[in-house]
Structure 1
Amino acid sequence: MKWTIRKKFLAGFLILFTFAALTFNQLLEKSIESNTTSFIQNELTNLQHTSKEYIKQFAQLHSAEKDLFTNYGSTMAQTLSNLHAQSVALYKTDGRFLYEAIPIDQPLLMENQKYEHDVDQNSSNELQRAFQNKAAYTPKALTKGTIIYFAYPVYIHNTFYGVIRFTGDYSDMFMHNEHLLNSFRLLTIFLFFGVFIISLLLTNQIIKPLQYLTAATKRMASGDYTEITNTKTSDEIGELASHFQHMQNEIRQHIHEINEEKEKVLLLEQKRTDFFNNVTHELKTPLTTISGYAQIIGEKNFDDAVFLQKASSKILSESNRLNGMVTQLLTFSKSQMSGMIKNKEVIDLLPLIQTICEDMQLKAKKYAMSIELHGESFFVNAYPDDMRQVIINVIDNAIKHGKANHKIRIQVNKTIAITNDCEPISAHIVEHAFEPFIHDSTNDSHGLGLFICKQIIEQYDGTISFQYEKKKALIEISFPAWQQNGNNPS
């Protein structure tokens, strides 16, 4: 049999309550018995005092009589019997029985009176002790009640007159005590059932939330994080349930974050795969072209001067293209490693951009363009080479895709904005502008320039965006305030 908390609690309660009830019952019985004994002793002491005073007064009135008990025993016994509503028996000094008066209105005394004549060693205990100069009493339980025999020696002026014995009906007192004990036992039984029911209800209030928690724990083990219900209490169980729900939410949140990170890792891995495939494809294309032209012009019977000129020009173009891609790859690799080989410093980008613009003016003039710079100081905590690479790539991209006879405008304020006029750009290119080797509708690759810029900017928690509207392209670069102030984030 499985000992659940409910069974343990109820068994413990049953044992404890039974032990307490029995102990208290015994203590009550002893207390009642002690009080009864004390009450009887006080009653009999008063009885002895009043009866002895009566006998003294009677003796003073009949002082001439030598044997008072023999001559007036019946009178004294009858008077004391009427006065105290008890049977009264008188015995001479030698133990001989003289007279006994029994009240006729006490049927229990009349039915159970024990007549004892001459007192000897077989007589009742109270009579034997009375003739030993001691007052004593003996209770006797009967079917219909309880009577008490009380005897004491009578001395007047140090003269022993004999022994007097009272027999009284004390049934009411003992019945009252028995009724009190029975009432307590009945109260104990009701109390037991009341406390048992309350304990059962309290136990259920404790056990049910624990059962819900146990079921929720099992569900959690199978991946179900449904919140538990029916545990809205303000006690420790309610607090436990609240913490459990908080733990459920935390675990659910962590699992959600883990799944998000997993998706990010898978996406990153896919991007790496795509990047590798794109790099391989982009490198193979010029190599295939160069290899093809080289094989043709390398044949023994080749003597086509026009084709040779065309092949030489194409080989040179593809070589330059290949060199540009290799340079971009090396730059990207270099930017990934820059944090391990350089130290950051707080730099003002405005003079750095101004220097780059002066250097790039020559290339811009080749395309009939000019570069215009406006703004104010813009401080950032970064590697100068990284910032130089970003600005060069962005301006170079604007020159490549800009319109002749138009200006490239650079505004340095709270952000760095590069604007240039350009030919229409497809929505596909705008959406994927920062992906490596993105192709447009003409299958023309846009290389790694903006991709490298994005990778570098994100290392500094910055953002770079590309917008195209009304035949104008806008690239905007921003950094968080702590980066611009040259401080570490708090």
Structure 2
Amino acid sequence: MIRNISVKFIIGFFFIFSLSFLVLNQTVKESIQTSNKKIVTSELIGLKNNSNIYVRQAFLINHFSNNRLYFGQMAEEMANDLNHATGSSVGVYTVDGELLYSSDKSIPPLTNGDLKEAIEGKTAYSITYDRNKASVLFSYPVFIDGTKVGILRFSRDFSLLYEQSGRIREIIFYIAMAIFAAAFLFSYILSRHITIPLVRLTRASNEVKSGNLEVRIRFRRKDEIGRLADNFNEMIDQISRQMTIIRKDRDHLQALHEQEKRFFDNITHELKTPLTSILGYAEIIRKKGETDRYFFEKGMNHIIEESRRLHDMVLKLLEATRQNIQIMEPERVDAGSILKDVCESMGIRAQRYKKSIRYEVQNELLVYGQGNRLRQLFINLLDNSIKYSTDQAEIFVTAKRADTKIQFVFSNPSDPIEADQIAYLFQPFNLGNRQISEEGSVGLGLSISKSIVDEHGGNIRMTNENNQTVVSVELEYMNVRKDGKPI
């Protein structure tokens, strides 16, 4: 089974051109033969008419009656005169086909077919070929006043006519062969011009099917095949981009899955720990009651503290996973005043860890947003700084206006953080490689902070250089008119 398209092209072209060449050659041959027969027939008719005129004149001049005897008597004279007048060898025969006289002794005798045709009053001729010669033997009956008196037979040489016809056939043959050879060569080159790129495209597509997306095809041509190659390359580029996106999405989903698993492991552990502690103290208190006043006070305080911690964790979890919650309408907010209040209140929490908060906040830092959400933002960032700063650290907070922006900066000394981990710290449930300094932290603070900043159309980023962690928040400054409305 032939599967190569170039071989199919070659076989198809060869078959078509060979068949066309044979048909053309046969058509030319038959056309020339038909033309030659017409020429020979025309000359023979003229020869017959002229000879008939000569015979009638000879009978009229000599006042002979139309009998066969006179025809036989003048056979020699008639043969020689017609031979001289027509340039053909002439043979004179009786009505029965008997030779009376011949101007050329080499003329073959009448055949049965010739004799039969002539005796029956019909014209008979045959063409004979001898090497490069062609001669015509032409026989017909002679009638005088409606009476058949004899038979004349002419032998005429048509070698020149057939020789010229043969040369014409040869010329046409070679010209046709040259034309068909050129056409076949052109078709072969054209087929190669078409099939070679298709073969390359086939090989390239097989490589792509095998998973090789690095293959490319370059054709220096502007036709349909060139455009097909360009489209093929664009298709592979598109597939490569899609595969890259799919791999990234796969890795991202895998990371999210692992991150979610860590979150649930952490949240399960962190929720289980206070609940176990609360349950244990509650069962002991139920058994002992108030008989052991010291243990009763200690247990109740522990239950209250663990309940508050559990309450804080649940609130953060709900905040991180909240969806489709109705957001309050934004309003004019003095973010600087809120930040000062948060720094004062969080200072007490920092003292528990033997740390301090120092702040420098400009006045009139107006923001168009939600005060409670901004308060939560500042609490989360300060809480994060307290938990992940070094021992006895000083946390420094600044807030100032810079052109049309308000910049909030939270800086604290800390352990080094790898650069590739910083971006992931803003994702939910992600703690990175940082050491957790307080139980109950499940990596939600920075994720909640980023969502709040995004709600206010701002930017948040974190850097860690020289063992110093800096979180910067940038919000739009709100210009107001004298009547208190935003500009």
TM-score, structure 1 as length reference: 0.68
Relative contact order: is structure 1 or structure 2 higher (C-alpha 8 Å, sep ≥ 6)?
2
| Distance of aligned partners of 1:441 and 1:56 in 2 relative to their CA distance in 1, 3 Å threshold | same
Task: Please list, as runs of the form range in 1=range in 2, the aligned pairs for 1:3-42 lying within 5 A after superposition.
Answer: 4-42=4-42
Conservation of the 8 A alpha-carbon contact between 1:91 and 1:162:
yes
Matched, 1:452 2:464: no
| Distance of aligned partners of 1:409 and 1:228 in 2 relative to their CA distance in 1, 3 Å threshold | closer
The aligned residue for residue 149 of structure 1 is: 137
Matched, 1:43 2:35: no
Conservation of the 8 A alpha-carbon contact between 2:394 and 2:413:
no
| Distance of aligned partners of 1:78 and 1:210 in 2 relative to their CA distance in 1, 3 Å threshold | same
Query: Once the two structures are aligned, what percentage of the paired residues are identical?
Result: 26
Name which of 142, 154, 162 aligns with 1:166: 154
Instruction: Provide, for residues 193-223 of structure 1, a one-character-per-residue CA deviation record: whole Å limited to 9, x for no partner.
Output: 6655555554444444444334333333332
Conservation of the 8 A alpha-carbon contact between 1:429 and 1:438:
no
Conservation of the 8 A alpha-carbon contact between 2:218 and 2:229:
no
Partner Cα distance (1:128, 1:273) in 2: 118
Task: Please list, as runs of the form range in 1=range in 2, the aligned pairs for 1:468-479 lying within 5 A after superposition.
Answer: 474-476=472-474
Name which of 126, 129, 132 aligns with 1:138: 126
Displacement of 1:44 after TM fit? 1.1
Conservation of the 8 A alpha-carbon contact between 2:336 and 2:365:
no
TM-score, structure 2 as length reference: 0.69
Amino acid in the other structure paired with 1:392: R
Matched, 1:419 2:411: no
The aligned residue for residue 84 of structure 2 is: 82
Instruction: Provide, for residues 284-329 of structure 1, a one-character-per-residue CA deviation record: whole Å limited to 9, x for no partner.
Output: 6767887899999999899897x99888777655554443222211
The aligned residue for residue 261 of structure 2 is: 273
The aligned residue for residue 100 of structure 1 is: 102
Task: Please list, as runs of the form range in 1=range in 2, the aligned pairs for 1:41-440 lying within 5 A after superposition.
Answer: 41-55=41-55, 62-64=61-63, 69-70=71-72, 72-91=74-93, 97-102=99-104, 111=106, 113-115=107-109, 123-125=112-114, 127-143=115-131, 145-154=133-142, 162-181=150-169, 198-229=186-217, 234=222, 236-280=224-268, 283=271, 319-334=307-322, 337-338=323-324, 342=326, 347=329, 349-351=330-332, 353-354=333-334, 363=342, 366=345, 372-375=363-366, 390-397=373-380, 409=399, 417-420=406-409, 423-424=412-413, 428=417, 431=422, 434=426, 436=430
Greater shift in the superposed pair: 138-147 or 249-258: 138-147
Greater shift in the superposed pair: 402-411 or 7-16: 402-411
**Matched residue count:** 444
The aligned residue for residue 460 of structure 2 is: 464
Q: CA RMSD in A?
A: 5.0
| Distance of aligned partners of 1:454 and 1:200 in 2 relative to their CA distance in 1, 3 Å threshold | same
| Distance of aligned partners of 1:472 and 1:243 in 2 relative to their CA distance in 1, 3 Å threshold | closer
| Distance of aligned partners of 1:256 and 1:53 in 2 relative to their CA distance in 1, 3 Å threshold | same
Partner Cα distance (1:460, 1:188) in 2: 87
Displacement of 1:75 after TM fit? 3.3
Partner Cα distance (2:62, 2:237) in 1: 107
Partner Cα distance (1:460, 1:224) in 2: 47
Structure 2 unaligned spans of 5+:
348-357, 387-392, 477-487
Conservation of the 8 A alpha-carbon contact between 2:32 and 2:165:
yes
Displacement of 1:266 after TM fit? 1.5
